[in-house]
Amino acid sequence: MRIGIAQLNPTVGDLAGNRRLILDAYHALVAQGAELVVYPELIICGYPPRDLLFKRRFVADVEASLAEIAAAIGEVPALVGTVETNPGASGRRCYNSAAFCQNGRVVSMARKCLLPTYDVFDEDRYFEPSPAPPSVVTVLGKKVGITLCEDIWTHPELAPSNRYRFQPVNWLAEQNLDVMVNLSASPWHHGKGYLRDQLVTDAARQLGCPVVYVNAVGGNDELVFDGRSLVSDATGRITARLPAFTTDTRVVDTSAALSAPVPATGALTAEPAGAAAPQPSAPMADIHAALVLGLRDYSHKSGFKKALIALSGGIDSALVAELAVAALGADNVMGVSLPSAISSGHSKDDARALAANLGIRFETIAIAETVAAAEAALGPVFAGRAPDVTEENLQARVRGVLMMALSNKFGALLLTTGNKSEVAVGYCTLYGDMCGGLAVISDVYKTQVYELCRWINRAGAVIPVNTIEKPPSAELRPGQVDQDSLPPYDVLDAILQGYVEEGMSRRDLVARGFAEAVVNDVVRKVDLNEYKRKQAAPGLKITPLAFGVGRRIPIVQKYVS
């Protein structure tokens, strides 16, 4: 069967825009000879719609959009991810479904069986699970099984215990299918592409038929969808793969193995939380592409064309500036140096050099007088108290005020520059350097920041060499370096990965070989700074567990692990 795969980038809630994408792809794929066209999960409304589903007219509007789409579908059928009203008297108000459309109407609906409720997923809040097994439709005399995303995520090696009692693939294995289609909106994190390959190829071998996996692409809020739709033949060979981090449409023939199949990686191996499984492409290339796509879509889908970055001369702001240029173009990015009375000469020089390398507009706004005015205003109230971190944070907060003023005046999105290591331990100033609309690298560890910058410089020095090689510093007091307050970043990041992503206790971390005093200090800082993270800008997710929507730790809690 010739199946048209529509790997598209929807915008959540843009029903008219998404409808145009769907129909344009349909007509293009039919013209290329497709006999069935398949789309990602919830393509009509975008994924995840979250509490839009609770708005009174939202589900009805999605169904009205589906009706318009179905009316334009001809003899070649299409499987379209959508929301379906639950007609029953009990349960949640809707299903996560796939509409089988043909000859101007919706012929049947296939409903999602398994609803994920872990990490960033909370589908059980919104959807009713299918009361019946997966649907099977007939196309040109061929039996096509339909699954939606989580329906194939049931391999016993994925978790210590099975999340679900019902296994959709096991049921479909008894139906003598000719092909199975999986409609997905599977957000990316490092290592996940490898795992998906194994799930799809494993399902194909179990079913004894080809499996077509169609995934969404693009950024929606914190999540980045990488596409990488693929086809496996019945033996588990990947015979077609669509590109990563970009839209694409392609017709694949499931009845004929390609002469040069795309190689799959080895046997399915459970991916430990935080671990990097083997990747089909360079890890830094993937991370860079994900961050660029997430930043571009967050900006454009929010109505921003321009971005602002406070350039400190340090490596984090340099990386964010490079990502902004890659996402939005140099003409749409402004870098601003905000030197204080104690800012080093090299910091100002490195910021200027970076801006020149990137070709972006560069402005300098000195803050020494503004900081002095704030200190003078506070002086009578602070009388008798020694200077401390309060005065240091005044510098960061003055910078935040000025950067937000620039954002307002120029209609540009202010990008924060804190990395995951800093955000984890609260090494950032609330209402200071945390000001902004998007935390681009808040899920990128400091050690990965260095790796990314070296990867960016692989063909020449885009990031100034001095920025990479000098000791990192917030420069909030003379001679300050990060290591005055934090352990070396390779140690810090390893502890954070264990504590935050793997859920390890202090005792576990000490047993792993870390000094007890260092572990206690890092864990204490992580726990104490939950309140900061709750007030932070949304950040792009690139690891198995990011701060934000997927991690729900109470701010006020006294548990000591």
Residues 6+ apart with CB under 8 A from 150: 112, 114, 115, 116, 121, 123
Query: Is-catalytic flag, 41?
Result: yes
Q: Quick: pLDDT tens for 445-487.
A: 999 999 999 999 999 999 999 999 987 766 566 666 767 678 9
What was the pLDDT predicted at 560?
Answer: 83
Whether residue 223 sits in one domain with residue 119: yes
Which token pair is 285?
A: 């290339």
Q: Can you state the angle between helices 446-456 and 489-496, rounded to 10 degrees?
A: 120
Query: Which range of residues forms the domain containing residue 387?
Result: 285-483+530-534
Q: How far apart are alpha carbons 190 and 497 in whole angstroms? A: 14
| pLDDT tens track for 208-226 | 999 999 999 999 999 999 9
**Do 495 and 403 belong together in one domain?**
no
**Which of the following is catalytic: 112, 192, 301, 306?**
112
Looking at the fold, whether 106 and 136 belong to one and the same domain comes out as yes
541 within domain boundaries: no
Residues 237 and 301 in one domain: no
Give the active site residue among 45, 94, 101, 149.
149
**For residue 276, what pLDDT is reported?**
30
Q: Is residue 544 part of a domain?
A: no
* Domain assignment of residue 433, yes or no: yes
- On whether residue 362 sits in a domain, the answer given is yes
Distance, C-alpha 208 to centroid of its chain: 33
Examine the fold and report which residue of 208, 231, 266 is the final residue of a domain before the chain moves on.
266
Evaluate whether residue 560 is within a structural domain: no
pLDDT at 482: 65
Both 99 and 231 in a single domain?
yes
**pLDDT at residue 154 is higher than 90:** no
For residue 334, the SS3 value is: strand
Domains in the chain, number: 3
| DSSP-derived 3-state class of residue 498 | helix
* pLDDT (average), residues 477-501: 84
**Residue 40 identity (one-letter amino acid):** P
Question: Which of 201, 233, 266 is the last residue in one of the domains?
Answer: 266
524 shares a domain with 389 = no
Query: Is residue 548, in this structure, part of any structural domain at all?
Result: no
94 catalytic residue (yes or no): no
pLDDT tens digits along 279-317: 334 799 999 999 999 999 999 999 999 999 999 999 999
Handedness of CA 456, 460, 462, 465 (dihedral sign): positive
Is 13 within a domain?
A: yes
Out of 35, 41, 271, 475, pick the active-site residue: 41
pLDDT in tens, 19-55: 999 999 999 999 999 999 999 999 999 999 999 999 9
Residues 227 and 289 reside in one and the same domain? no
Q: What is the structure's pLDDT at 65?
A: 98
- Residue 526 CA to residue 426 CA, distance in Å, equals 7
Specify whether 169 is located in the same domain as 74: yes
Query: Does the pLDDT value for residue 263 go beyond 90?
Result: no
Q: Is the domain of 53 the same as that of 21? A: yes
Half-sphere exposure of 472 (CA within 13 A, CB side): 22
Q: Please check whether residues 41 and 132 belong to one and the same domain.
A: yes
Averaged over 190-198, what is the pLDDT?
87
| Domain contains 558 | no
Same domain, 391 and 503: no
Could you tell me how far CA 561 lies from the centroid of its own chain? 29
Mean pLDDT of 235-262: 83
112 is catalytic: yes
The reply to whether 81 and 213 lie within a common domain is yes
